[in-house]
Structure 1
Amino acid sequence: MRIGLALAGAVLAATCLSTGTAGADGVFTVHMSPSGSDSANGLTPATAVKSLVRVQEVLRATRPGTDVEVRIKQGTYVAPPMHDWRFYVPGHTVSFLPSDYEYGEGESGIAGRPVFRNPADRPTGFWLQPRLPKDKTDPLYDGGTSGLRFYYLQVEYYSSGAVSVHGDSERDIADETYTPPMRKQGSKGLNGNTFFGMVLTHIGSKWAPCGADCHGWGAIVLTNSSGNRIANNHFVNIENHGNYGGHIHGLYVTHFSSDNTMSANRFAYINGDPVKIRDRSNFNTVEDNSFTRTGRAGFYRDEFCDAACVKANPGLERQCASYHNRFAGNRLISDYDGDNSSEAWTLSPPGLTNAGGAPCAIPAGDQRLRTAGNTTS
């Protein structure tokens, strides 16, 4: 069948499904396979597609009003960075998971993790960057619960990072009633996402060279993204080249990203601080993780750009401290150099109650970080 006819058939089939049923379990499923075709419709295993770009096209054509599953057959997907994921179903979830995964099962219940690998010429960027919808009539145009869920996938060889949830994309983030301008929330965020059982490996400019001044930011980056669960993942070989090691992190939680739970993850060989929190990202919990050969200044880094920082870095918006974060019950096995000279945690600028100056504030009796029960063996 010619490509044009195949695409027409895909849209027709999708349109019929959108007015019919999504399946007995109320889930709309799109199938992916390394041997699939993006001229197919993805609605059955026999008509699987091979890229997330095509998956989003199918979902936009069908507009399901139910939970969505993207069932991904094992194998390797050569996938250039995609910075334009904008499909969400208000009140429902969109899950990316192996074709044989059953909820609640562990790694032994699947034939292996599907692998998403940057092409050999290593285009610059993240594997996937969810962004706010561009359509002003979309229910999530101003942000909300995006409900993306990632289970038991492997992502490798991307220069910027694996996943960047960007809840401020294409929005005004400068409050110019202040001089210099203050950073503000661009939307309600892209919230309520899950990362579970993932392997994020060989991430950063050491593994995906992208130029002398190009570097990675983090395996998972949350920007204005709250209420996420990040558990049971492996962050391995998250490294930049040269003097840019301090710029990359396993988890980078920044700009109004609060109430996130980061637990039971394994961090290994990360030449920046493995967990970094920035700018009014409050009530985050980092518990029961292990850290081996990770960290430049510490295992946990809290940082924001105050007035002095903005003066030294013209063009940045001023930021405020985060508060009521918790770093507890973690195994701090070794820092990146292996000499265990790094601190368990660091604050920049320093001070547990340093909010950053008016109008920034930390509630009375609270502080930026509390720690408990971290061990060094």
Structure 2
Amino acid sequence: MRLGLALAIGVLVATSLSTATANAADVFTVHMSVTGSDSADGLTPATAVKSLVRVQEVLRSSKPTTDVEVRIKQGTYVAPPMHDWRFYVPGHTISFMPVDYEYGEGEAGIAGRPVFRNLADKPSGFWLQPRLPRDQADPMYDGGDSGLRFYYLQVEYYSAGAVSMYGDSERDIADETYSPPMRKPGSKGLNGNTFFGMVFTHLGSKWAPCGADCYGWGAIVLTNSSGNRINNNHFVNIENHGNYGGHIHGLYVTHFSSSNTMNANRFSYINGDPVKIRDRSNFNTVESNTFTRTGRAGFYRDEFCDAACVQTNPGLERQCASYHNRFANNRLLSDYDGDNSSEAWTLQPPGLMNAGGAPCSIPAGDQRLRTAGNTTS
């Protein structure tokens, strides 16, 4: 199933978007073009660069202290996976968007989505994996609000997925005061990011072969990444090969990733569960989405590895249940096989009040998941 640039996306404009336009003098801009050069400085359209690797180099050398915009001219950018984005501006945002995008105008205001594409013979991985800085003097070394914002781009043919916000990168995540060790957050996270109007398509090992035992994880994977806004995006053909379908998701929200909103998205042709939540990822909202030909066990999956799971999976840290998540007002049109035999939502291990055993807990009166208003038409 190919997805054209003319694919309609309903515009969901929040106040934060309509008021986001900053005075040009308060924004540091880097320009990208498929005809640009990575020997250029990217500071004008005439000196545009052509890769995100070069964009990060420009930002590191320029050290902006304002909001940043990466203005991307329409075209197809053939780019291998980049797992080393580590530049942030504390208190400000870094936005990746089409060159002609205006905040709040929606798809009708742009000439088309710039496309980022991997080739089948390129290395496996995500299109982009933001990580924590390595420099201990960096104010973001221990995490915080990373403020990355992605608007109206298309990402395709990456084996692992599109974007992995990795708030535990190169940090200690094992609390060894427990036996077996409990998973703990490695930092304050990489938080406060936005994905709006994006198209994620043809991702996973079915579309980007990476070896017999290689598979994808999700179009967007959040690991210790909270307060994100994932609205009005399309997730299409997110699929693994062979028996690995259950490993890939549209949204994989894991390990201390809380208070994320995932609303008004469209999911289609995903051979794993399209939304998966794991391990103390609380207060997440999944509302007003449409699911067509998606799901293995269900449309929403809550899973964690308790003590029994660790016994059969040595080397994993023990995890706890997530709680106070909401799955509501979604259209559950068909599962991946098209026979509508999947559940609306599933929990593993089961039990709405199953926290996973001490020291795990769920606050009194709360539970893992609440649902309302989901329909099959």
Structure 2 match to 1:71: 71
SS in 2 for 1:53: helix
SS in 1 for 2:309: helix
By how many angstroms is 1:168 displaced? Answer: 0.2
SS in 2 for 1:150: strand
Q: Does 1:234 align with 2:234?
A: yes
Structure 2 match to 1:294: 294
Instruction: Give yes or no for contact 2:331–2:374 (8 Å, CA) kept in 1.
Output: yes
Relative distance call for 1:23 and 1:363 in structure 2 (3 A) is closer
SS in 1 for 2:221: strand
Could you tell me the percent identity over the aligned residues? Answer: 88
Q: What's the TM-score, normalizing by structure 2?
A: 0.94
Instruction: Give yes or no for contact 1:122–1:158 (8 Å, CA) kept in 2.
Output: no
Structure 2 match to 1:373: 373
Structure 2 match to 1:150: 150
List per-residue Cα deviations over 1:291-332 (Å, max 9, x = no partner): 000000000000000000000000000000000000000000
Structure 1 match to 2:8: none
Structure 2 match to 1:221: 221
Q: Which has the larger radius of gyration?
A: 1
List per-residue Cα deviations over 1:225-260 (Å, max 9, x = no partner): 000000000000000000000000000000000000
Structure 2 match to 1:3: none
Question: Counterpart amino acid of 1:258?
Answer: S
Relative distance call for 1:359 and 1:219 in structure 2 (3 A) is same
Q: What's the TM-score, normalizing by structure 1?
A: 0.94
Structure 1 match to 2:16: none
By how many angstroms is 1:23 displaced? Answer: 7.8
SS in 2 for 1:71: strand
Gaps of 5+ in 1: 1-21
- Give runs of aligned pairs for residues 119-138 of structure 1, distance below 5 A: 119-138=119-138
Q: Does 1:140 align with 2:140?
A: yes
- RMSD over aligned CA atoms reads 0.9
Question: Counterpart amino acid of 2:86?
Answer: R
List per-residue Cα deviations over 1:73-116 (Å, max 9, x = no partner): 00000000000000000000000000000000110100000000
By how many angstroms is 1:341 displaced? Answer: 0.2
Instruction: Give yes or no for contact 2:154–2:199 (8 Å, CA) kept in 1.
Output: yes
Structure 2 match to 1:353: 353
Structure 2 match to 1:265: 265
Question: Counterpart amino acid of 1:257?
Answer: S
Residues in 2 aligned to 1:71 and 1:196: alpha-carbon distance in whole angstroms: 15
Instruction: Give yes or no for contact 1:122–1:157 (8 Å, CA) kept in 2.
Output: no
Residues in 2 aligned to 1:199 and 1:208: alpha-carbon distance in whole angstroms: 17
Gaps of 5+ in 2: 1-21
Q: Does 1:81 align with 2:81?
A: yes
List per-residue Cα deviations over 1:200-248 (Å, max 9, x = no partner): 0000000000011000000000000000000000000000000000000
By how many angstroms is 1:123 displaced? Answer: 1.7
Structure 2 match to 1:312: 312
Residues in 2 aligned to 1:213 and 1:81: alpha-carbon distance in whole angstroms: 19
By how many angstroms is 1:121 displaced? Answer: 1.0
Residues in 2 aligned to 1:25 and 1:145: alpha-carbon distance in whole angstroms: 23
By how many angstroms is 1:120 displaced? Answer: 3.9
Instruction: Give yes or no for contact 1:273–1:297 (8 Å, CA) kept in 2.
Output: yes
- Give runs of aligned pairs for residues 243-282 of structure 1, distance below 5 A: 243-282=243-282
Q: Does 1:202 align with 2:178?
A: no
Residues in 1 aligned to 2:62 and 2:210: alpha-carbon distance in whole angstroms: 37
